[in-house]
């Protein structure tokens, strides 16, 4: 009788895992809850822990970060009680991922290093490779790109060694993101296209959406706003369908950037407003500064500097409280927008905002040991180049 129950639970766990692969998170969550209920009624603690883990993953992928964190903690407790080392390691990695998305980077690293040690102890090379990728992602959002690259390259190597195609594409995508942030757009596009090929083979709709959105960001950075818009249009209905709010907010930003670049101001405003609402809802407060900056740029372009200043005041209040914009896709564009809006309003704070942006940008550049990469970071990213030109002009003026 218990064998039949175990078979049923295994069926639901497999269904949850498959549904997550195809980005059907509602089905994944429902199947996981079915597995949990059956395991609880049969007193099968190890399988209950596995069901709790699958539910946690579904919550994370739906962008429900506080709920996901709480469920991963519950999973961890269940796994330790049941003596399930594999599920314990998976739960620790899940806690690390969720902490990273909430900008709790020290906590994320602590969980991920614990997961890494446990995967090594039990000989799980796939888990080890995926954790290296998660560590790389955590360092990436803190702008430590050398360490991020090292971890992601380790992840690619291990994933290829063990045939973990999905883990490989996540790592390739992160390497592409590191290149994009540094201004190496051609390498970024190459990594994103490699990742997209793998994702299409897997049928992983969420990851396909992320790669298409990333390719849209590259096109936008290169000034090809129509291509950026075309990529965004492919992702928007997909993100809506699978219910991934983090992906939806990201691609709404891409849409806003592209529409603003095309001079379609009203549509850009709507895209930024939707993104802002979602990011505030799911607690991505640093990332929420990007659509706010977008709204400020649109208002300024439409000849309404007073309205633009209202948005910038919100950003400045956030910066005063939080100090940094960890996790933002284009943090220095936010700083540049603040300066431009303050300058347009003849606000005396403009000079200090520019000085702060220049200092932060130089500090980040100083962390890049390779001179060519450092120069590309400062000169090839349009917003970085503009900040440095303004910053140097200000410095020259103060020394006359």
| pLDDT tens-digit readout, 326-369 | 778 899 999 999 999 999 999 999 999 999 999 999 998 888 77
pLDDT digits (tens, 9 = 90+) for 206-219: 889 999 999 999 99
- pLDDT score, position 1: 58
8 Å CB contact between 284 and 101:
yes
CATH number of the domain located at residue range(s) 1-123 in this protein: 1.25.40.10
380: three-class secondary structure by DSSP:
coil
Place of tokens 């999973």: 75
**d(Cα 130, Cα 166) in Å, to the nearest integer?**
9
Tallying the residues shown for the chain, one arrives at: 400
Q: What does the domain layout of the chain look like in residue ranges?
A: 1-123, 284-400
How many Cβ atoms sit within 10 Å of the Cβ of residue 367? 13
pTM over 0.85: no
**d(Cα 1, Cα 141) in Å, to the nearest integer?**
50
8 Å CB contact between 289 and 328:
yes
Q: Tell me the average pLDDT across 214-231.
A: 96
**d(Cα 200, Cα 214) in Å, to the nearest integer?**
15
296 pLDDT tier (thresholds 50, 70, 90): very high
- pLDDT score, position 305: 97
């Amino acid at each position: 009788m218990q064998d039949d129950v175990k078979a049923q639970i295994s069926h639901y766990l497999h269904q949850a895992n498959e549904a997550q692969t195809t980005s059907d998170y509602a089905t994944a969550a429902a199947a996981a809850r079915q597995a949990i209920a059956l395991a609880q009624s049969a007193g099968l603690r190890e399988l209950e822990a596995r069901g709790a883990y699958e539910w946690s993953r579904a919550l994370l992928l739906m962008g429900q970060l506080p709920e996901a964190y709480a469920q991963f903690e519950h999973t961890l407790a269940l796994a330790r009680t049941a003596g399930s080392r594999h599920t314990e390691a998976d739960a620790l990695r899940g806690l690390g991922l969720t902490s990273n998305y909430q900008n709790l980077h020290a906590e994320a690293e602590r969980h991920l290093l614990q997961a890494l040690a446990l995967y090594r102890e039990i000989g799980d090379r796939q888990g080890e490779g995926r954790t290296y990728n998660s560590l790389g992602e955590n360092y990436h959002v803190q702008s430590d790109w050398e360490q991020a690259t090292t971890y992601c390259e380790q992840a690619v190597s291990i994933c290829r060694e063990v045939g973990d195609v999905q883990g490989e594409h996540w790592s390739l995508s992160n390497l592409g993101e590191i290149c994009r942030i540094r201004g190496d757009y051609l390498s970024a596009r190459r990594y994103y296209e490699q990742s997209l090929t793998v994702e299409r083979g897997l049928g992983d709709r969420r990851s396909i959406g992320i790669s298409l959105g990333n390719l849209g960001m590259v096109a936008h950075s290169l000034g090809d706003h129509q291509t950026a818009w075309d990529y965004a249009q492919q992702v928007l209905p997909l993100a809506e369908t699978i219910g991934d709010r983090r992906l939806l907010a990201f691609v709404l930003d891409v849409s806003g950037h592209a529409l603003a670049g095309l001079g379609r101001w009203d549509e850009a405003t709507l895209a930024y407003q939707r993104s802002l609402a979602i990011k505030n809802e799911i607690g991505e407060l640093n990332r929420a500064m990007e659509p706010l900056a977008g709204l400020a740029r649109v208002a300024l372009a439409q000849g309404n500097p007073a309205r633009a200043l209202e948005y910038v005041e919100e950003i400045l209040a956030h910066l005063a409280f939080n100090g940094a914009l960890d996790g933002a896709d284009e943090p220095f564009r936010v700083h540049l927008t603040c300066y431009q809006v303050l300058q347009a309003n003849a606000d005396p704070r403009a000079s200090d905002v520019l000085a702060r942006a220049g200092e932060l940008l130089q500090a980040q550049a100083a962390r890049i040991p390779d001179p060519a990469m450092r120069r590309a970071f400062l000169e090839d990213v349009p917003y970085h180049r503009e900040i440095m030109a303004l910053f140097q002009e200000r410095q020259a003026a103060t020394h006359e």
